[in-house]
Chains A and B, each alone.
Chain A
Amino acid sequence: MASLLTTPARREKPEESGAWRNKTPAILTLERFMQDQTDPENPNPSPKFHTGRLPNNRSGDGKPRLLLMGQRRQEAHPLISPRRSGKSSISSVVFHKMPPAETLFLESTARIQKDAVHSFMDFQVWDFPGQLDFLDPAFDVDYIFGEIGALIWVIDAQDEYLDALMRLNNTILLLQQHYPSINIEVFIHKVDALSEDYKFDIQRDIVQRTQDELSDAGYENAPVSFHLTSIYDHSIFEAFSKVIQKLIPQLPTLEGLLNILCSNSGMEKAYIFDCISKIYIATDSSPVDMQSYEICSDYIDVIVDVSEIYGWDRPGRAAEEAECNDQEAESVIRLQNGMILYLKEINKYLVLICIMKEESIKKKGLIDYNCGVFQDALAQVFGLQRT
């Protein structure tokens, strides 16, 4: 309901476009430098990749953006090293495969850090420095929020979060007024060191405060969701999976395809994973349990690591390789308890992972055939060429 009411406000936006026009060219160029644009002299270069229609994408062909934001660093105590909410660590761990222990050495982000992530769909992750105040009129709000699909707000659960919560609420209210279709995802971060009870207490508290604030301002059912995360376990990947899934328009189709695959091949659970970030794009409609997600994600690690070790370029083997090259990687693990893990590469970015009983793998031909059909269907959905 809220979105219907506020859409006209978004269309008008007189004060903002006015502000844009009133600035001198010098200021505008400076701003673009500040915002770390690749070509500052030539604003808004046209996007190069086709990614399908996205929720908040007016032109229909930009990269979907995820914006990472978090609490401001406390400037009041220059001597105490300020706590950081962990935004850069998150993007390094999830998108650059950095081991969590090494994030200790990361420098703090001074300006907007843009990461283009090339995967089954291209998207950008913007790491927004904590000390920048985007509500400052010097920033081009429309440029920042104009095309983002989701705003990820990181809150340090081990720290005093009331101040951060206030900024979050201001941001949500601003977004609700002007860009109501942006998904707002709150990561309650660094929960690894907290006890189970305390974790959920904090979550309840944050949810309560945010909802109160929203309903005071008259917004019900705002697209705000909360996730408990930590870079030291799988929770951060799971949270990102949920964020990304909301941005995939084809999600219901994918789920349907996976359901058909599972029921026809005797599989218990099937996931499609993005190989690089270990985010799962879709799964069949049987309930997701953390364990099966974790094992699949660890399975990808094993396959990627082992392939890295033995997949080096062997000179003088080109002829033999040519005949096998069109074949995608495939792997089977037989567990002691009779379960089977099956992995098949779908294309450069995606892998299919299935969990099944021992009986099902006996009909290996059927599984191969079904997976082939599934692969073709997926290629049609994404409009990709199977190469």
Chain B
Amino acid sequence: MDIIEKKGKKKKVLLMGKSGSGKSSMRSIVFSNYVAKDTRRLGATIDVEHSHVKFLGNLTLNLWDCGGQDAFMENYLQHQRDHVFANVAVLIYVFDIESREFDRDLVTYSAVARALSENSAGARVFCLIHKMDLVQAEYRQKLFEERSSLLKERSEGFDIVVFATSIWDETLYRAWASIIYTLIPNLSIIETYLRRFAEIIEAEEVVLFERTTFLVVCHVSQQGLGNPNDDRFERISNIIKTFKQSLSRFTSSPKSAPQFTEIELRAPRFSLFIDRLTSNTYILVVVKPGESDLNTAKMNVKIAREDFERLDVTGDGKKPTRTRESSSRMELEAEDDAGRDAEY
């Protein structure tokens, strides 16, 4: 049963845009652990570079990084039209904000959108307006709105989502996390599990990250605790990924290695830890300050690990876990009480 399910979960993602707009740089940062600075070394992409990214167990992204020079574009749109645009799950189209011929970019984009609507009408389209760091901060919003309304007009009926991105800050992670979010198959199950888990351990916030990309898979926050930082998840992705780079330099281990097993922080206003949950995910838990809350939460992550592992690998862990869940919950509560008693 597992094998059949796994086969169906390969999603084709097209990455397109004008030559030099930053497609490959983006891909290297998100999926190959480059830092923004390293992307200077990348050359132009010739034709299409295929890569398979295993993402969260049974989801595999089949990423087509399409070289953007005019000759290639023409080739995709004419000779390889059926081949390139068939069975696409997601099209990501990258625009360079500094491009001097935006009108021409729009024409190419429309042609691509038309080809896509003919061959895979159910695809989702995301447009990234890239290199936003080159615009001064006060003009960014205005320029972004201008461009995105223009793009929406030319999308050939696709309901597109537009992001302003830059490889130099966390906006890149925000865009990619939202794109990936639409692709994860059993997200609703993961989300309900995570919500229950968060309730049991009385956490302020629980966030699930994918292991290699450190993109947010799913997050749950306690009701009524309005954290003023809405962009916190992508900021954490960015912080941890940058730190992983420094760690790989420090330990002189390959960049793709996991680098750390656990991060723990006790601050006056909160306690937080990041730990490995399953083979593909890390979990971040924020709890109230104090030794006992942190330690019980840590212990509970250990207990829940097995259940999440099952969910991650097979995609449905419904039947066997229910009983385990209730038994582990009792354990948790007992643990919790013990912690409280010790405190007072």
User: Which residues of chain A have a CB within 8 Å of any CB of chain B?
Assistant: 99, 101, 105, 232, 291-292, 294-295, 298-299, 301-303, 305-314, 317, 320-321, 323-325, 327-337, 339
Contact = CB atoms under 8 A, between A and B. Distances in A.
B269 A309 contact: no
Given A291-B250, A295-B247, A298-B246, A306 B239 contact: yes
Nearest to B224: A316
Given A292-B250, A336-B253, A331 B269 contact: no
A373 B268 CA distance: 20
Contact of B268 (A232, A292, A321): A321
Given A310-B270, A327-B268, A329-B268, A336 B258 contact: yes
A121 to B, nearest CB: 24
Contacts of B232: 309-310
Interface string B245-265: 011011101000111111111
A310 B227 contact: yes
Interface of B: 37, 133, 136, 168, 204-205, 225, 227-229, 232, 235-236, 239-240, 242-243, 246-247, 249-251, 253, 257-270, 272, 286, 288-290
Given A101-B133, A310-B227, A320 B288 contact: yes
Given A314-B269, A323-B290, 12 more contacts: A291-B249, A295-B250, A299-B243, A302-B243, A302-B263, A306-B239, A309-B236, A320-B290, A330-B266, A336-B253, A336-B260, A337-B253
A307 B262 CA distance: 17
B175 to A, nearest CB: 19
A330 B273 CA distance: 12
A306 B265 contact: yes
Nearest to B248: A336
A331 B264 contact: yes
Contacts of A305: 235, 239
A298 B264 contact: no
A311 B267 contact: yes
Given A336-B251, A336-B257, A310 B264 contact: no
A104 to B, nearest CB: 10
20 contacts: A101-B168, A295-B249, A298-B246, A306-B236, A309-B232, A310-B205, A310-B272, A311-B268, A312-B228, A314-B225, A320-B289, A321-B289, A324-B289, A327-B266, A327-B289, A328-B268, A329-B266, A335-B251, A336-B251, A339-B251
B272 A336 contact: no
A213 B264 CA distance: 54
Nearest to B245: A298
A299 B268 CA distance: 18
B339 to A, nearest CB: 15
Contacts, number: 113
A298 B35 CA distance: 14
Contact of B251 (A101, A311, A313, A337): A337
Nearest to B288: A320
Given A105-B136, A311-B270, A324-B289, A332 B227 contact: no
A326 to B, nearest CB: 8
Contacts of B235: 305, 309
B268 A298 contact: no
A337 B252 CA distance: 10
Among B235, B247, B264, the one with the most A-chain Cβ atoms within 10 Å of its Cβ is B247
A99 B167 CA distance: 14
- In this complex, the member of B264, B270, B286 whose beta carbon has the largest number of chain A beta carbons within 10 angstroms is B270
A333 B232 CA distance: 21
A49 B13 CA distance: 61
Nearest to A331: B265
Nearest to B228: A312
B176 to A, nearest CB: 19
A312 B242 contact: no
Contacts of B240: 302
Given A295-B250, A305-B235, A312 B227 contact: yes
A339 B89 CA distance: 43
B233 to A, nearest CB: 9
A335 B246 CA distance: 12
Q: Which of A99, A307, A324, A334 has the most CB of B within 10 A?
A: A324
A325 B253 CA distance: 38
Nearest to A289: B250
B272 A335 contact: no
A289 to B, nearest CB: 10
Contact of B269 (A105, A292, A321): A321
Contacts of B251: 335-337, 339
Nearest to B37: A232
A105 B251 CA distance: 36
B260 A310 contact: no
Nearest to B225: A314
B249 A311 contact: no
A101 B225 CA distance: 34
A297 B15 CA distance: 36
Given A291-B249, A305-B235, A333-B264, A324 B290 contact: yes
A321 B293 CA distance: 13
A99 B257 CA distance: 27
A381 B42 CA distance: 52
A302 B239 contact: yes
A58 to B, nearest CB: 41
A310 B268 contact: no
B300 to A, nearest CB: 19
Nearest to B36: A101
Contacts of B228: 312
A103 B246 CA distance: 23
A11 B291 CA distance: 60
Given A294-B250, A295-B247, A320-B288, A335 B261 contact: yes
Query: Could you say which of B257, B258, B261 has the most chain A C-beta atoms within 10 Å of its C-beta?
Result: B261
B263 A333 contact: yes
B240 to A, nearest CB: 8
Contacts of B268: 311, 321, 324-325, 327-329
A305 B229 CA distance: 12
A152 to B, nearest CB: 26
A310 B268 CA distance: 11
A317 B270 CA distance: 11
A328 B266 CA distance: 8
Nearest to A192: B37
A305 B133 CA distance: 20
